[in-house]
Structure 1
Amino acid sequence: MELSRMIISIGKVKSIHTLKVFAAAAHYGSFTACGQRLHMTQSAVSQQIKRLEDLVGSELFFRQARGVRLTDQGRLLLQQITPLISMVNDGQRKGSENTPVIRMAMSPVIAEQWVSTYLPLFRKLFDSFRLCVLESSINDDEHDESDIRLVQVHVNDERFIDESWCFCNRDEMVAVCSPQYLEMIKVDAKNWVEKSCLLESHCHIKGNRGLSWDAWLAAQGKLGAQSDEIVVFESNSLSLQAAKANCGAALASLAEISCDLRDRSLVVLPGCPVPATSSYYIKMRNTSDYRHQQALEWLRKSIYATVQGAVHSVKLVDAV
């Protein structure tokens, strides 16, 4: 497959800092030089890169005696994240006093999709503003002063959400597998559960996030139809990697796998999406400057549309 037609999903990468370490290592061609530039040890850089390779499921560098060089997958990933890294750097770089900065905080999962869809249009409509994109979680007080902020909140933590936050969408869980796995087991809409190996994760079993297979099947009215073959993984990320490797069917958050659905490394199995245990909330501050407020309102609507598209991305794939 041509490199230009390949897609690497960074949906599971939770840290923009990790992506910046990868970009710096690619630029300097050396983990040691990258560490010196970012004030990190060579070992810390190597660990960040290894963790990133595990998350995206591809080797990103060839390790050589005198440095490193990008693999084809590494060059593709660098190409994909360059707009996001540039936007973050532009926001952090000191501009002129007359150039207002808009601070926008969200998770890399949503930021990746927002950048590819809305960043070019924002630059065209509001070229007098600089954007600073930050990582955000509900417990991260550092970004409380952001102009606009999106967080993913577990249902148990929704009691901490005050009236300044607006509900955006509830995440949903679906059953997924690789297209190749469908062909291997010759599945159909009636008996895929019985014929599939079900890939489970501890976080689902413990109820900390998402649903267990028991809960998902009960919501489908098929609790007694569960397969006898179940494999349990430490994390949901590992169960999804196993699904992509044609090992079985896994449960997945639609927001996290929207890129996988677009490149068809995963497809959605028959069954109704089930509400997950987390929701998205958005908060925007008000300003007296009309143009600034107009830009913030445009960003709020575009982020809302991005979340809607991520959660409902099941519509992007054909039914089995």
Structure 2
Amino acid sequence: MSLLGRRVSLNSLRVFEAAARHLSFTAAARELHSTQSAVSQQVRGLEEQLGMPLFERIYRGVRLTEAGEGLFDAVQEGFATIERAIDALLNRQRHPRVNILTDFSFAAYWLMPRLPAFRRDHPQIDVRIITRQVGEMRPDPEVDVAILFCDERTLAAGVPRLFAEEVFPVCSPGFLAQHGPIDSLARLAEVPLLTLTSEDKAAWQDWPGYFQRLGGIAHRENAELIFNNYTLLIQAAIAGQGVGMGWRGLVDEAIDNGMLVGLTELALHSSQGYGLIDMQPTAAGEAKATLMAWLLEAAGAGR
């Protein structure tokens, strides 16, 4: 039993809080559907347990002693904390939340533009997006679903694939007008390239792998700008600072809006891609299942 339970009861504190708030045993009894004598008896018992008076009995009422004022503040704060916790639990039951972990690029360029449609169709489900750099993708007990770039082995093991990797050079219309046409690997190797790096070796394609996989000339570091953030790289490409590597699904909207041009004749396909991972497979939940099904459907519609 807790110290609180050994010394005083929660019910006596509830009665005390009502009497202190109303400064009236009669009004407290009316609120608690009790009697004035029962309230008075509960308060007297609490005072005896604590060994100090909490109220001064005055004409037609009561007022708090200094000790009573201190206890009243503490009890109100404690009850308010309990009430907020209960409200949060009830709200969570009414609005279940699903936590999604993904990288900055996927969140910014694919997930966020589509999420309003999910919210419109499923307003009862709250979605929290957690973004991390690739090198920071560590297990997290709060994560329900992860959308991560996966290698071929992971996808072959049964992880649902949102879409396969398709990469191609992208640049601004102005850059292409100045440096184009860029219709071969030899010409691509001659223009400034925008390079994405990470602290850990990422599964996705980089420029050396891209040139090698297409069977063309060896990659040369030609006036490269280097970024560790794909969002910044795309902004640099839009600003006309060079040619970046574009991933199907991430750059589609920028191409459709005319901010970027996709050099799709130089596209490279692989068996890698973004996978949808249930991070809590033993924790079944309708909200999580609904979101995962929607993500797969949205990716299929995009294809």
Whether the aligned pair in 2 keeps the contact of 1:136 and 1:143 (CA below 8 Å) is no
1:244 is the counterpart of 2:259: no
Q: CA deviation at 1:181?
A: 0.9
1:305 is the counterpart of 2:297: yes
1:122 aligned partner, one-letter code: H
CA distance in 2, matches of 1:122, 1:97: 15
Aligned CA distance change for structure 1 residues 182 and 152 (closer, same or farther; 3 Å) = same
Match of 1:235 among 225, 228, 231: 228
Q: CA deviation at 1:303?
A: 0.7
Aligned CA distance change for structure 1 residues 98 and 234 (closer, same or farther; 3 Å) = closer
Aligned residue for 1:177?
A: 171
Match of 2:266 among 260, 264, 271: 271
Whether the aligned pair in 1 keeps the contact of 2:168 and 2:267 (CA below 8 Å) is yes
Structure 1 stretches lacking a partner, 5+ long: 1-91, 124-128, 313-320
Aligned CA distance change for structure 1 residues 188 and 105 (closer, same or farther; 3 Å) = closer
Whether the aligned pair in 2 keeps the contact of 1:239 and 1:250 (CA below 8 Å) is yes
CA distance in 2, matches of 1:265, 1:134: 26
Whether the aligned pair in 1 keeps the contact of 2:195 and 2:206 (CA below 8 Å) is yes
Aligned residue for 1:215?
A: 209
1:196 aligned partner, one-letter code: V
Whether the aligned pair in 1 keeps the contact of 2:162 and 2:273 (CA below 8 Å) is no
TM-score if structure 2 supplies the norm length? 0.52
CA distance in 2, matches of 1:287, 1:139: 19
TM-score if structure 1 supplies the norm length? 0.50
Aligned residue for 1:150?
A: 146
1:101 is the counterpart of 2:96: yes
Aligned residue for 1:253?
A: 247
Whether the aligned pair in 2 keeps the contact of 1:168 and 1:282 (CA below 8 Å) is no
Aligned residue for 2:138?
A: 139
Q: CA deviation at 1:115?
A: 1.2
2:151 aligned partner, one-letter code: V
Partner of 1:264, secondary structure, is coil
Which protein has the larger Cα radius of gyration, Structure 1 or Structure 2? 2
Aligned CA distance change for structure 1 residues 132 and 195 (closer, same or farther; 3 Å) = closer
Partner of 1:114, secondary structure, is helix
Report Cα offsets for 1:288-307 as digits up to 9, x if no partner: 8xxx74x6544222211334
Q: How many residues align?
A: 204
Whether the aligned pair in 2 keeps the contact of 1:114 and 1:303 (CA below 8 Å) is no
Q: CA RMSD in A?
A: 4.0
1:304 aligned partner, one-letter code: L
Q: CA deviation at 1:189?
A: 2.7
2:166 aligned partner, one-letter code: E
Aligned residue for 1:280?
A: 275
Whether the aligned pair in 2 keeps the contact of 1:216 and 1:274 (CA below 8 Å) is no
